[in-house]
A = this chain, B = another copy of it.
Protein backbone atom coordinates (compact mmCIF):
# COMPACT_ATOMS: atom_id res chain seq x y z
CA UNK A 1 0.00 0.00 0.00
CA UNK A 2 1.43 3.31 -1.06
CA UNK A 3 0.88 6.66 0.58
CA UNK A 4 -2.55 7.93 -0.33
CA UNK A 5 -3.47 11.53 -1.01
CA UNK A 6 -6.91 12.93 -0.28
CA UNK A 7 -8.03 12.15 -3.81
CA UNK A 8 -7.06 8.51 -3.42
CA UNK A 9 -8.89 8.36 -0.11
CA UNK A 10 -12.00 9.90 -1.66
CA UNK A 11 -11.94 7.29 -4.43
CA UNK A 12 -11.62 4.49 -1.90
CA UNK A 13 -14.54 5.85 0.14
CA UNK A 14 -16.65 6.07 -3.01
CA UNK A 15 -15.94 2.45 -3.87
CA UNK A 16 -16.55 1.32 -0.28
CA UNK A 17 -19.96 3.00 -0.39
CA UNK A 18 -20.80 1.38 -3.74
CA UNK A 19 -19.97 -2.01 -2.23
CA UNK A 20 -22.18 -1.40 0.81
CA UNK A 21 -25.06 -0.38 -1.46
CA UNK A 22 -24.52 -3.59 -3.44
CA UNK A 23 -24.96 -5.78 -0.36
CA UNK A 24 -21.33 -6.19 0.67
CA UNK A 25 -19.74 -5.14 3.92
CA UNK A 26 -16.57 -3.27 3.03
CA UNK A 27 -13.71 -1.73 4.91
CA UNK A 28 -10.76 0.48 3.96
CA UNK A 29 -7.39 -0.43 5.29
CA UNK A 30 -6.01 2.10 7.77
CA UNK A 31 -4.25 5.11 6.27
CA UNK A 32 -1.54 4.64 8.85
CA UNK A 33 -0.78 1.25 7.41
CA UNK A 34 2.80 2.38 7.02
CA UNK A 35 3.21 1.57 10.71
CA UNK A 36 3.01 -2.09 9.82
CA UNK A 37 5.00 -4.15 7.38
CA UNK A 38 2.03 -6.35 6.56
CA UNK A 39 0.92 -6.33 2.91
CA UNK A 40 -2.52 -4.72 2.95
CA UNK A 41 -4.90 -4.09 0.06
CA UNK A 42 -6.83 -0.80 0.01
CA UNK A 43 -10.26 -2.38 0.45
CA UNK A 44 -11.61 -5.67 1.79
CA UNK A 45 -15.22 -6.64 1.12
CA UNK A 46 -17.40 -9.65 1.78
CA UNK A 47 -21.04 -10.62 1.33
CA UNK A 48 -21.08 -14.01 3.01
CA UNK A 49 -20.36 -15.76 -0.27
CA UNK A 50 -17.50 -13.87 -1.85
CA UNK A 51 -14.55 -12.06 -0.35
CA UNK A 52 -12.81 -9.39 -2.39
CA UNK A 53 -9.49 -7.64 -1.79
CA UNK A 54 -9.04 -4.61 -4.00
CA UNK A 55 -6.01 -2.48 -4.77
CA UNK A 56 -7.43 0.91 -5.77
CA UNK A 57 -5.86 3.50 -8.07
CA UNK A 58 -7.31 6.71 -9.39
CA UNK A 59 -5.62 8.88 -12.00
CA UNK A 60 -5.97 12.09 -13.94
CA UNK A 61 -3.58 10.77 -16.59
CA UNK A 62 -4.53 8.39 -19.39
CA UNK A 63 -1.82 5.92 -18.52
CA UNK A 64 0.02 4.89 -15.41
CA UNK A 65 1.80 1.90 -13.95
CA UNK A 66 1.30 -0.32 -10.94
CA UNK A 67 4.48 -1.73 -9.51
CA UNK A 68 4.89 -5.46 -9.52
CA UNK A 69 5.56 -5.38 -5.77
CA UNK A 70 2.11 -3.87 -5.18
CA UNK A 71 0.60 -6.71 -7.17
CA UNK A 72 2.67 -9.20 -5.22
CA UNK A 73 1.48 -7.77 -1.90
CA UNK A 74 -2.12 -7.94 -3.06
CA UNK A 75 -1.70 -11.60 -4.00
CA UNK A 76 0.10 -12.42 -0.74
CA UNK A 77 -2.63 -10.87 1.38
CA UNK A 78 -5.44 -12.41 -0.68
CA UNK A 79 -4.11 -15.95 -0.52
CA UNK A 80 -3.61 -15.74 3.20
CA UNK A 81 -6.93 -14.05 3.98
CA UNK A 82 -8.98 -16.06 1.52
CA UNK A 83 -10.11 -13.38 -0.91
CA UNK A 84 -10.25 -12.81 -4.66
CA UNK A 85 -7.63 -10.21 -5.62
CA UNK A 86 -8.71 -7.35 -7.89
CA UNK A 87 -7.36 -4.12 -9.21
CA UNK A 88 -9.89 -1.26 -9.19
CA UNK A 89 -9.16 1.79 -11.32
CA UNK A 90 -10.91 5.12 -11.70
CA UNK A 91 -9.79 7.47 -14.45
CA UNK A 92 -11.09 11.04 -14.21
CA UNK A 93 -14.59 11.25 -15.68
CA UNK A 94 -14.74 7.51 -16.35
CA UNK A 95 -16.62 4.79 -14.54
CA UNK A 96 -14.87 2.34 -12.23
CA UNK A 97 -13.20 -0.62 -13.91
CA UNK A 98 -11.82 -3.81 -12.41
CA UNK A 99 -9.43 -6.57 -13.33
CA UNK A 100 -8.99 -9.89 -11.55
CA UNK A 101 -5.47 -10.69 -10.50
CA UNK A 102 -4.14 -14.21 -10.76
CA UNK A 103 -3.85 -15.72 -7.27
CA UNK A 104 -0.61 -17.42 -8.29
CA UNK A 105 1.56 -14.96 -10.16
CA UNK A 106 -0.59 -11.84 -10.16
CA UNK A 107 -0.85 -11.65 -13.93
CA UNK A 108 -4.03 -12.34 -15.87
CA UNK A 109 -4.71 -12.16 -19.60
CA UNK A 110 -6.55 -8.92 -19.06
CA UNK A 111 -3.43 -7.16 -17.77
CA UNK A 112 -0.63 -5.61 -19.80
CA UNK A 113 2.77 -6.18 -18.30
CA UNK A 114 5.95 -4.25 -19.04
CA UNK A 115 9.27 -6.02 -19.46
CA UNK A 116 10.12 -4.97 -15.91
CA UNK A 117 7.08 -6.83 -14.60
CA UNK A 118 5.04 -3.76 -13.75
CA UNK A 119 1.43 -3.50 -14.90
CA UNK A 120 0.48 -0.83 -17.43
CA UNK A 121 -2.93 0.74 -16.93
CA UNK A 122 -4.06 2.43 -20.13
CA UNK A 123 -7.41 4.16 -20.43
CA UNK A 124 -8.12 2.71 -23.89
CA UNK A 125 -7.27 -0.80 -22.82
CA UNK A 126 -9.33 -0.77 -19.64
CA UNK A 127 -12.36 0.60 -21.52
CA UNK A 128 -12.20 -2.38 -23.82
CA UNK A 129 -11.12 -5.20 -21.56
CA UNK A 130 -11.84 -4.54 -17.92
CA UNK A 131 -15.00 -5.29 -15.94
CA UNK A 132 -17.41 -2.66 -14.73
CA UNK A 133 -18.78 -2.62 -11.18
CA UNK A 134 -21.84 -4.76 -11.95
CA UNK A 135 -19.61 -7.40 -13.45
CA UNK A 136 -17.30 -7.29 -10.45
CA UNK A 137 -20.14 -8.01 -8.06
CA UNK A 138 -21.64 -10.56 -10.41
CA UNK A 139 -24.82 -8.77 -11.45
CA UNK A 140 -24.05 -8.95 -15.15
CA UNK A 141 -21.38 -10.40 -17.34
CA UNK A 142 -20.71 -8.80 -20.67
CA UNK A 143 -19.90 -10.88 -23.67
CA UNK A 144 -16.63 -9.91 -25.22
CA UNK A 145 -15.29 -10.83 -28.63
The dominant DSSP class at the A interface is: mixed
A136 at the interface (CB under 8 A from B): no
A117 at the interface (CB under 8 A from B): no
CA distance A35 to B31 in the complex (A): 13
CA distance A47 to B51 in the complex (A): 12
**A17 CB, min distance to chain B CBs, angstroms:** 8
Known: A13-B36, A36-B13, A38-B20. A81 touches B46 (CB 8 A): yes
Known: A46-B83, A82-B49. A77 touches B25 (CB 8 A): yes
Nearest 4 CB-CB pairs, A to B?
Answer: A48-B82, A25-B81, A46-B81, A25-B80
